[in-house]
Amino acid sequence: MKKIIAIIFLIISSTIIYISSSDQLIGIIVNNRYKDATIWGSDKYIYGDLYGMSYLSEFKLKEYSTPTLDSFNRKDFPNPRYLYVMHDSYFPEYLSEKPEYFYNVKKLNLIHWKNRRVLDLDSIKNNNSIILIECVERNAFNLINLKGVLDRISFSNKKSSNSFNKISLNSNKSKDMNSFDFNFSNELIDLKNRIFNRFIETNIEFLIFNIRLFSPFKIFKAEINQKLFGRINGDVYLSKNKKYLYLNETINKLNIGSSFYPLSENEIGEFVNNLNEINDYLLNKGFKKVIFNINPNPVAILKTEDFPLNHFVQRVKNHTNLRATLLDPSDRLKINADHNFFHSDSHWNSNGAKIWMTYFNEELKKMK
Amino acid sequence: MVFNSLHFLVFFIFTTSAYFLLQHRFRWFLLLMASCYFYMVFVPKYIVILGFTIIVDYFVGINLEKFTGRSKKIFLILSLIANVGILVIFKYYFFIDKNVSFLGDLFNSNWHLPNLNILLPIGLSFHTFQAMSYTIEVYRGNQKPERNFGIYSLYVMFYPQLVAGPIERPQNLLHQFYEKHNFDWIRVKSGLMQMTIGLFKKVVIADRLAIFVDGTYGELPKQGPLNLILAAVFYSFQILCDFSGYSDIAIGAARVMGFDLMKNFNAPYLAKSLPDFWRRWHISLSTWFKDYVYFSLGGNRVSVPKWYFNILIVFLLSGIWHGASWNFVIWGFLHGILQIIGIQLNRFFPFLASYNLKTKSLQIIYQIWTFILVTFTWVFFRLYKFSDLKIYFKQLCQFNLRNKFSFYLNLNEIIFSFGLILFLMLAQTYGLKDKLLKTPFFWFWMFLFMVCIYFFGVFNIKQFIYFQF
C-alpha cells in the first residue's frame, strides 16, 4: 500500500515538474483553462491581472471589450510600408493579421519583448520598413537600450518566405551577467532553460491552484488580510480613492520604473542616449524610420496619489539631445482619464487602446 | 530553489517518493542528482565551483590517510587554501577591493584590484565549512577518508542542508548514507511536523515582522525611539524565525528520509547569558568555530590575555563569515567584547554568574538582560552602512513628540505579531512540537498549521536571511 501511494506521489510530482518546465505545455493549459467556464477553469485574468494577483472581491469586474477601430483602404496607399513592432502587452496583438488598421501599412511584423527574432535585412531594405519600439513606462529603463534590443532581434541576409523566425527569449545566450560565460550551442542552452525554467514557480502555482474551485479561498484570504491587517498582495497597490489597483512597482519610489522615482537629469540623459543609439543602429540596418513609444504608467495619468510625479516621458521627449522620434500619448489619455484605464488591470482599456491607435495613425500620416 | 516555494514542495515529494521506491544501493545516486538539481536551480554554472572544491577535498582526504608528518600537513593546507580561496574570491573580493581603494584614497592613489564580474554562489559559506570540517577531521584521525566519490559529493551537497546548514560533521552524516532507511511512519510524521513548523515560522512570523523592520530601517530619519526599539525587537525574532525556520525545514526534510541532522537552534532567547546564547544559536557554526579555531588557538587553557584574544578572534571570524562588510565585523567584535566583560564580571563577582542563579525570577531577569544585549548587537547586524547606524542611534536618543509612531503594520497586525512571538516563546519553553507528535490529533494540528500558513502567511517569496551568507 505504501509503495502504491509512493508511486502515485511520484507520478503526480514528476508530471507537475515536467509540465511546469515547458512554456509550451503551460501555454496550452492556460488557453484551455480560460475557455473553460466550469470550476476547473481559471478566472485569474478574466477580471484583470491585478485582480488575479490580489483577489479583492470589490475589484472582480469584467471590463474587457475589443475597441471599434477605423480601418484604412489599402488602395489609397501608393507606397505601403512594412511595420515592425517591438511591443509589450499594451500593444493590440489581436491586430497582428490586420494591417489595414494602421495607416499606409501593408504588413505587420510583431516582436514581443519576451521573444527573439531573426529579421531579414534585404526585406527591411526593400520594403520601406519602419519600426515601432513600444513599452510601458515601468519597463522602459530595463528594456529600451541597445543590448535589450539586440537581445531580441538579430539580422541576416538569408532570404526566406518568412522574413523572421521566432525564437523564445530563453535561447538567448547572453543572459547570465558574469564572467563565467561558457559558449554553448543553442540546443544545450534551450535544454538548460527547459530544465531550469525561470518561471517554474509561477507555472506550478498556475497549474495546481489557478482553478475556480480555489477562488473562494483566495478571496476569503484577501478579505481577512485586508479587513484585519489592512494589507493586500505585496505586488499590488490600492489607490487612495480605493477605485483603482496599480502594480506596486509603479508606485514604489525605490523602483526606477515607478512614476514617483526621483529621476535625475543624468538618468534622463542616459536614457536619451540609449534611444539615440538604438535609433542610429536601426537606421543603419535599413529601416526608413524608427519610432519610440513609451506608454505612461496608469497612475501617472489617473493622478490618484499625492506623491510628486517624475514626468519621465515628457522629460525625455523634451530633452535637447533627443534625435529619435518619441511618441507620448499622455496628454490624450489624460482627457477623461477615468474612462481610459481598467480598475483592476495594469493596462489601458479599449478606450485607451483606441486613443493610442488614433494617435499613432496620426503620426504615421505625418511620415513621408 | 527556496524552501518556501511550491517548486520545493513538488521537488521534495518527488525526491522522497523516489527515495523510498528505489533499492537502497541506488538511493545515494538519486539524492546526489536531486541535490545537483536543487543547487543548479539558483545559477546552474556555479556547480562547477562546488565540483572543484569537492574534487580537491576528496583527493586530499585520501592522501591524508596515506601520508604523515609534513606532507600530511601540506595536503590539509591545500584543502584549506582551496576552500578559503574560493570564499575570498567569491565572497570577499569586492570588500577587499573597496578597502584597498579606500586606503588608496588616503594616499591619494588610485588602487584597485582587477575587476571581476562575479556573483556570490549560494550556500558558499556553508558548504566550504562543511568540506573543511571533513578534511580537518580526517587529518586529526577522527574520520576515515571517504573513498566513494559519489558518497563524498553527497556529503557536501546533501540538498536539505546544502545552502544554509546545519553545517554537518562527517562523523554524523557520512555513515548515514550507507545505512538503509526504511519507511518509518513515526519518523516521517516528526519530519513533516518540523517542516510545517519551520514554514510557519518563516512565512507567518518572520516575513510578517520583516514588513515592519524593513519599513522602519528603510526610512530611518523619520523614525522615533518607539519605532526603532520595536524594529530592533522584531528583527531579533525575524532573524530567529527565518533562520531556525529554515533549519527546521532542512532537518525535517532529512528526517522524513531517515537522516538525522544536528540540531541548530535550542530556544536561543531563553539563554541566561551570552555564552549560553551561543550554545543555543546556530549551534553548527558556533561549534565549528569552537572545535576548529578556538581550541586550535588554545581555548581557555592559556593565559588570561591570550584566552580573551582567542575569544575575540573567534567572534571576529564569525562576524566576517556572516558577510563581507564592516558592520558584521563590528557585530562579531561586540559579541567578543561582551563575552570578555561577562567573564571578568564573573571572576570578580561570582554571585552574578548565570550558573549561580537560585530563583526563577532571577533567571527571568537574566534571560531578559541577555535578550536586550543580543537585540542591541542585532542592530549592527541589520544596518549595513555606518551612516545608517549613526542615524539610528541619533534618532533613538531624540525624545521628540513630533516623531509619531510609523505604522508599517496596523495595530491589529502589531498585536497579532506580539501574539505570535508569545506563542513562539511558549512553544519553545514547553516543547510544543514533541507534545503535538504524541497527541492522537496529529493530522488535525498539521491541518491547522497549514491553514494558518495559507491564510496568514506573507508570500512575497522573501529569501531566507542566511541565504546571503
What does the pLDDT look like over A53-81, one tens digit per residue? 999 999 988 777 777 777 887 777 777 88
Facing residues of A84 across strands?
A109, A131
Q: In which band, very low, low, confident or very high, does the pLDDT at B402 lie, cut at 50, 70 and 90?
A: low
Specify the pLDDT at position A6.
94
Rounded CA separation B396/A112 (Å): 51
Which of A24-33, A274-283, B283-292, B301-310 bottoms out in mean pLDDT, i.e. has the lowest?
Answer: A24-33
- 3-class SS at B269? helix
Specify the pLDDT at position B174.
96
CA A106 to chain CA centroid, Å, is 24
Mean predicted confidence (pLDDT) in A356-365:
93
Rounded CA separation A138/A237 (Å): 14
Interface touch A217/B13, C-beta < 8 Å: no
Interface touch A229/B458, C-beta < 8 Å: no
Look at strands A153-156 and A115-120 and give their pairing. Answer: parallel
The number of C-beta contacts closer than 8 angstroms across A and B is 86
Rounded CA separation B300/B235 (Å): 33
Mean predicted confidence (pLDDT) in A343-365:
92
State the smallest CA–CA distance between residue A53 and chain B in angstroms.
Answer: 11
CA nearest to A68, candidates A360, A338, A357: A357
3-state class percentages of chain A: helix first, strand second, coil last, to nearest 5: 45, 15, 40
Which of A155-169, A265-279, B15-29, B59-73 bottoms out in mean pLDDT, i.e. has the lowest?
Answer: A155-169
Q: In which band, very low, low, confident or very high, does the pLDDT at B466 lie, cut at 50, 70 and 90?
A: low
Check if the beta carbon of residue A338 is closer than 8 Å to that of residue A353: no
Residue B322 bears catalytic tag? yes
Specify the pLDDT at position A162.
43
- For residue A345, pLDDT over 60 is answered with yes
Interface touch B44/A196, C-beta < 8 Å: yes
Check if the beta carbon of residue A344 is closer than 8 Å to that of residue A55: no
Read off the pTM: 0.87
- For residue A181, pLDDT over 60 is answered with no
The dihedral over CA atoms of B64, B67, B68, B74, expressed in degrees to the nearest 10, equals: -60
3-class SS letters over A27-71: HHHHHHHHHCCCCCCCCCCCCCHHHHHHCCHHHCCCCCCCCCCCC
Question: Is the preceding omega at residue B440 within 30 degrees of 0, hence cis?
Answer: no
Interface touch A196/B7, C-beta < 8 Å: no
Rounded CA separation A233/A48 (Å): 14
- For residue B310, pLDDT over 60 is answered with yes
Rounded CA separation B205/B208 (Å): 5
Specify the pLDDT at position B469.
62
**Which of residues 435 through 464 in chain B touch A, CB cutoff 8 A?**
454-456, 458, 460-461
Q: In which band, very low, low, confident or very high, does the pLDDT at A198 lie, cut at 50, 70 and 90?
A: confident
Interface touch A12/B13, C-beta < 8 Å: yes
Q: Which of A6, A205, A225 sits opposite B17 (nearest CB)?
A: A6
Specify the pLDDT at position B165.
86
Complex ipTM = 0.87
Residue A166 contacts B, CB cutoff 8 Å = no
State the smallest CA–CA distance between residue A233 and chain B in angstroms.
Answer: 8
Q: In which band, very low, low, confident or very high, does the pLDDT at A186 lie, cut at 50, 70 and 90?
A: low
C-alpha grid cell for residue A72? 484604412
Burial B276-287 (b: 16+ CB within 10 A, else e): bbbebbbbbbbb
Rounded CA separation B158/A265 (Å): 50
Q: Which of B7, B18, B119 sits opposite A178 (nearest CB)?
A: B119
Rounded CA separation A173/A194 (Å): 14
Interface touch A13/B13, C-beta < 8 Å: yes
The dihedral over CA atoms of A184, A188, A189, A191, expressed in degrees to the nearest 10, equals: -170
- For residue A170, pLDDT over 50 is answered with no
Q: Could you tell me the maximum CA-CA distance found in chain B, to the nearest angstrom?
A: 73
Q: Which of A16, A224, A229 sits opposite B410 (nearest CB)?
A: A229
Q: Which of A13, A201, A225 sits opposite B17 (nearest CB)?
A: A13
Mean predicted confidence (pLDDT) in A209-229:
92
Contact residues, chain B, for A7 at CB < 8 Å: 17, 21
Q: In which band, very low, low, confident or very high, does the pLDDT at B315 lie, cut at 50, 70 and 90?
A: very high
Mean predicted confidence (pLDDT) in B238-242:
95
Higher-scoring residue by pLDDT: A156, B420: B420
Specify the pLDDT at position B467.
62
Which of A215-229, A333-347, B420-434 bottoms out in mean pLDDT, i.e. has the lowest?
Answer: B420-434
The one catalytic residue among B127, B175, B181, B322: B322
- 3-class SS at B324? coil
Specify the pLDDT at position A167.
44
Mean predicted confidence (pLDDT) in B423-427:
91
Best to test chain A binding among B16, B17, B30, B42 (most A CBs inside 10 Å):
B17
- For residue A185, pLDDT over 70 is answered with no
Q: Which of B11, B20, B44 sits opposite A6 (nearest CB)?
A: B20
Interface touch B14/A235, C-beta < 8 Å: no
> In angstroms, what CA-CA distances link B22 with A113, B26, B205?
44, 6, 37
Best to test chain B binding among A1, A8, A13, A177 (most B CBs inside 10 Å):
A13
Rounded CA separation A208/A221 (Å): 17
Residue B20 contacts A, CB cutoff 8 Å = yes
Q: Which of B5, B10, B44 sits opposite A17 (nearest CB)?
A: B10
Residue A201 contacts B, CB cutoff 8 Å = yes
CA nearest to A49, candidates A342, A296, A249, A340: A342
pLDDT digits 0-9 by tens, A79-128: 788 999 999 989 987 887 888 899 989 888 999 888 788 888 888 888 78
Contact residues, chain B, for A198 at CB < 8 Å: none
- For residue A179, pLDDT over 70 is answered with no
State the smallest CA–CA distance between residue A69 and chain B in angstroms.
Answer: 40
Mean predicted confidence (pLDDT) in B1-22:
94
**For B207, nearest residue in chain A (alpha carbons):** A234
- For residue B141, pLDDT over 60 is answered with yes
Higher-scoring residue by pLDDT: B460, B203: B203
Check if the beta carbon of residue B170 is closer than 8 Å to that of residue B155: yes
Specify the pLDDT at position A67.
73
Mean pLDDT (chain B, rounded): 90
Which of B217-221, B333-337, B402-406 bottoms out in mean pLDDT, i.e. has the lowest?
Answer: B402-406
Interface touch B118/A178, C-beta < 8 Å: yes
Best to test chain B binding among A2, A180, A191, A218 (most B CBs inside 10 Å):
A180
Interface touch B117/A17, C-beta < 8 Å: no
Q: Among A184-193, A225-234, B26-35, which range has the highest average pLDDT?
A: B26-35
- Listed in sequence order, the DSSP H helices in chain A are 2-21, 23-35, 49-54, 121-126, 137-143, 146-150, 186-195, 200-209, 215-229, 265-284, 298-302, 312-317, 330-334, 350-366
Look at strands A245-247 and A236-238 and give their pairing. Answer: antiparallel
Rounded CA separation B330/B348 (Å): 27
3-class SS letters over B135-192: HHHHHHCCCCCCCCHHHHHHHHHCHHHHCCCCCCCHHHHHHHHCCCCCCCHHHHHHHH
**Can you say whether residue B267 is alpha, beta or left, with left for phi > 0 and alpha for psi between -120 and 50 degrees?**
left
Specify the pLDDT at position B101.
87
Mean pLDDT (chain A, rounded): 86
Specify the pLDDT at position A72.
83
The dihedral over CA atoms of A272, A277, A280, A286, expressed in degrees to the nearest 10, equals: -120
Q: In which band, very low, low, confident or very high, does the pLDDT at B468 lie, cut at 50, 70 and 90?
A: low
Burial A282-318 (b: 16+ CB within 10 A, else e): beebbbbbbbbbbbbbbbbbbebbeeebbbbbbbbbe
Rounded CA separation A109/A87 (Å): 10
